[in-house]
Amino acid sequence: MSNAIGLFDSGAGGLSVLKKAIDRIHNKNFVYLGDTKRMPYGVRSPEEIKNFTIEAMGFLQDKGVDLSVIACNTATCHGLDASQNRYDYPILGIISWGSIDSVKVTHNRKIALIGTESTVKSKVYDNTIKSLDSGIELRSIACPDLVLAVERGEFEEKHMEKIIRNHLNEFGDFDYDTIILGCTHFPVVKDSFKKIYKKDNRNVKIINPAHLSIERAMEILSIEKDNEPIDNRTIDFYITGDVEAFKHTLNQVLDLNGFKLSFHQVDLSSFDKYLKK
Binding residues for substrate: 9-10, 41-42, 73-74, 184-185
Closer Cβ to ligand DGL, 9 or 233, answer by number: 9
Q: 102: buried, middle or exposed (CB in 10 Å: 19+, 13-18, 0-12)?
A: buried
Catalytic residue (choose from 4, 39, 72, 239): 72
Known active-site residue 72: yes
Q: Applying CB under 6 A, which residues contact ligand DGL? A: 9-11, 13, 39-42, 72-74, 115-116, 119, 147, 183-185
How far is the C-alpha of 250 from the C-alpha of 187, rounded, in Å? 14
Known active-site residue 77: no
How far is the C-alpha of 249 from the C-alpha of 168, rounded, in Å? 24
How far is the C-alpha of 112 from the C-alpha of 213, rounded, in Å? 20
* Sign of CA pseudo-dihedral 209, 20, 90, 32: positive
Closer Cβ to ligand DGL, 9 or 223, answer by number: 9
- CA distances 40 to 1, 3, 71, 127, 146, Å, are 31, 30, 14, 24, 11
**Catalytic residue positions?**
72, 183
